[in-house]
Amino acid sequence: MSPYFMKWNEGFLIMGTQFAAGVFLGTALMHFLSDSNETFGELTDTEYPFAFMLACAGYLMTMAADCLVSHLYAKKSTHASDLELQANPSNSNSLSSDAKPQDNGSREAQASFTRATSLGDSVLLIAALCFHSVFEGIAIGVAETKADAWRALWTVCLHKIFAAVAMGIALLRMMPARPLLSSATYAFAFAISTPIGVAIGIVIDSTTQGQVADWIFAISMGLACGVFIYVSINHLLSKGYKPLNKVAVDTPRYR
C-alpha cells in the first residue's frame, strides 16, 4: 500500500527500482532456475537442459504477449486519433488551424498509449509476483513433514517481505497518481496468492502421485524463470525510474 500512503523522494525511487530489478533477477536465476534444473535431474536421466529451454520459452512467450498488447493499444490509440481528426472541420486557408487539432490528437493518443503501457507494466509485474507466490505456497503444501512445512513457511515469509518492497517501489514508478483502489487490489492479490498456493499444494499432495507433482513444479519453475528475467530486464532495468529533476544517484556509477 506504500504507493498510496507514501511519496518517496526520487533518489530513493531510482535506487529502489534497481533493487527491485535485482530481486526479480536473483529470484529467477538463483531460485527458479536452480530448483527446476535440480528437479529435472531427479526425474529423468536424459542429459538435456530442460530447465534452460523452458526459461527461454517463458521469456519469449512473455515478450510476445507484451509486444501484442503494445501493438493493440498503439493501433487503438492511432484509430481514435484518426477519428477525432476526421470529426474536426478543416480550414484549408489557415495552416495553423489545421495543425492545432493534429497536434492535440497526437498528444492525446500518446498520453493514452503511455497510460496503457503503464497499466500493462503494472499488471505484468503483479502477475509475475503472484505466480511466484503461488508456487511458494505449493512448496509449503506439498511438504512431507510438519518441520519441513514450518521451515518453508518462514523462508517464504522472509522472501515475501523483500518481494513486497520490490513491488511497492516498482508500482511507485508505474502509478504516479497512486490510486487507492488499484493499490489495494494489487496488495490483496499479492497477499492472497501464497495461501492459494498452499491450498493447491495440499490438493496436489493428496490427489496425485509425487512424481506428477514434481513434473508440474519443474515445468512451472522453468517457465517462471523466463517471465521473471523478462520483467527484471525489460520493465525495471531498461526503463528504470525517470526523475523529474537531476538526482545524484542517477549516474552509471551508482547503477
Please count the other Cβ atoms lying within 10 Å of the Cβ belonging to residue 137. Answer: 24
Please count the other Cβ atoms lying within 10 Å of the Cβ belonging to residue 30. Answer: 10
pLDDT at 95 over 70: no
Written as one string, the DSSP assignment of 108-148 is HHHHHHHHHHHHHHHHHHHHHHHHHHHHHHHHHHT-SSHHH
**Which pLDDT tens digit goes with each residue over 29-38?**
888 899 889 9
Residue in 196, 198, 214, 211 with CA at minimum distance from that of residue 140: 198
The Cα–Cα gap between 81 and 98 comes to 14
251 secondary structure, DSSP code:
S
238 secondary structure, DSSP code:
T
Domain parsing of the chain, residue ranges? 32-87+96-237
pTM of full prediction above 0.85: no
244 secondary structure, DSSP code:
S
Alpha helices in 145-179 (DSSP H): 146-174
Alpha helices in 175-230 (DSSP H): 180-207, 210-230
The phi and psi torsions of 88 (rounded to 5 degrees) equal -80, 130
Written as one string, the DSSP assignment of 51-94 is HHHHHHHHHHHHHHHHHHHHHHHHHHHHHHHHHHHHHSPP-TT-
Residue in 39, 31, 240 with CA at minimum distance from that of residue 132: 31
Considering only the C-alpha atoms of the chain, give the largest distance between any 2 of them, rounded to a whole number of Å.
Answer: 83
The phi and psi torsions of 212 (rounded to 5 degrees) equal -65, -45
Range 168-189 average pLDDT: 71
Range 30-56 average pLDDT: 90
Find where cell 532456475 sits.
33
Select the more confidently predicted residue: 71 or 196.
Answer: 196
Residue in 117, 119, 121, 157 with CA at minimum distance from that of residue 137: 157
**Which pLDDT tens digit goes with each residue over 115-165?**
445 556 667 677 777 777 787 787 777 766 777 778 777 767 777 777 777
Per-residue pLDDT at 184: 78
